[in-house]
Amino acid sequence: MNLKIKNTLKFLFLTFAAVMISSASALFAQTVTEPVQAEMDMNTYYIIMFVIFFLLLNLIFIPLMKSPKTAEEISASAIAQKKLIGVLTGKIIGLQPIEAEKSLLLDEDYDGIQELDNNIPPWFNILFYGSVIIAIIYMLNFHVFKTGKLPFQEYNDEVFAAQLQRDELIKSGAFINETTVELLNDPESLSAGKQIFLANCVPCHGENAGGTVGPNLTDQFWIHGGGIKNVFKTIKYGVPVKGMIAWQNQFNPKKMQQVGSYVLSLQGTNPANGKPPEGDKFIETADSVSVKDSAKVKSVSMKDSTKTDSAKIKK
């Protein structure tokens, strides 16, 4: 490469470096606002500029200073590389040169078949001793110090984590819908439902659920069906034609279950100035009155088990 081309490339390199430095300086000057942040950004800037300059220097400037290799030098370099590769391959594979086969022949002769006294290939030893080392590390990690988890432990941890997630979903009511919802009658749930009702339903149904714009919710007549399943469905999807919004966008299923259970707890209260009945009289069925009260369920099961045990004793 002649001197003119080298000088041109040097000039282009210096120009490019100058443009990069000035651009980065302008960028950092625009983004820096606080003194502490400015100091940190300038340190980062200097580091980036040094790395860019170092890379460009090695990739462009220094190679230009070297004279090109001759054909003899290139050939000698290729031969040296081939020799190095051959030596490394021989060390790993462990093969002996053909010239040394006579010295490796064993004295035994089996029907004209002779055996070479070759050593075990290094690659086999590497695999063998590597397996031993890995086995020791595995034993110490999983069985001695127990810093690692065995598959059974990992499985139990995943099951436990899934159970926690399931419990959280149950608390939020993620599994509750219009077909699985059950009537709540515990004071805590009814109190929470009352708070939701007073905060959101009073403008249309009145403070005592006697009805204003919306219907009376304390009698046995329902426009869209009574019972917890129908009430939950009405709360969830609303009645947009009559101005009732779909509350599923505001409340989770648990809260809709609570407010629905509270509304049904007002049956027969007959508040003053309540609206006259609207819709059809709803007759309770087994599905519509399914009650969820964990305390009662536990007590009933305890009584049943006691009765069963006493019956067995009498027999």
What pLDDT does 308 receive?
Answer: 40
Domain count, the chain: 2
The contacts of residue 229 (CB under 8 Å, 6+ apart) are 178, 179, 181, 287, 288
pLDDT in tens, 288-298: 555 555 444 33
Structure tokens at 44: 């980062």
Please compute the mean of the pLDDT values over residues 131-139 and round it to a whole number.
94
Sign of CA dihedral 3, 8, 13, 18: positive
Kindly report the CA angle at 255 between 257 and 225, in degrees rounded to 5? Answer: 35
Confidence of residue 161 (pLDDT cuts 50, 70, 90): very high
Dihedrals phi, psi of 184, to nearest 5 degrees = -100, 140
15 falls within a domain: yes
Residue 114 CB neighbours (<10 A): 12
Amino acid 295: pLDDT: 44
Q: What is the pLDDT of residue 116?
A: 78
Domain of 279, in residue numbers: 183-295
- 11 within domain boundaries: yes
The per-residue pLDDT for range 29-64, each reduced to its tens digit, is 544 444 444 455 667 777 777 777 777 666 665 565
Q: Which of 30, 46, 65 is the last residue of a domain?
A: 65
Q: How does the average pLDDT of the chain come out, rounded?
A: 78
**Mean pLDDT (whole number) for 106-133:** 84
pLDDT of 311 reads: 39
Higher pLDDT, 184 or 8: 184
Give a yes or no: residue 72 inside a domain. Answer: no
Residues 255 and 196 sit within 8 Å (Cβ to Cβ): yes
- C-alpha span between 193 and 197 (Å, rounded): 6
pLDDT computed for residue 130 by the predictor: 92
Task: Report which of 100, 97, 98, 91 is spatially closest to residue 121, judged by C-alpha positions.
Answer: 91
Q: pTM to 2 decimals?
A: 0.47
Where residue 241 sits, what CATH number does that domain have? 1.10.760.10
Give domain status of residue 143, yes or no.
Answer: no
Residue 2 token pair:
């002649």
Single-letter residue type at 109: D
pLDDT at 249 over 70: yes
Flag whether 25 is in a domain.
yes
**pLDDT of the residue at 83:** 77
List, as one string, the DSSP characters of 144-212. IS--S--HHHHHHHHHHHHHHHHHHHHHHTTT--TTT--EE-SHHHHHHHHHHHHHHTHHHH-TTS--S
- pLDDT for 314: 38
* In-domain check, residue 115: no
d(CA 159, CA 163) in angstroms, rounded, equals 6
In a domain, 167, yes or no: no
Of the listed ranges 77-81, 104-108, 282-286, 291-295, the least confidently predicted one is: 291-295
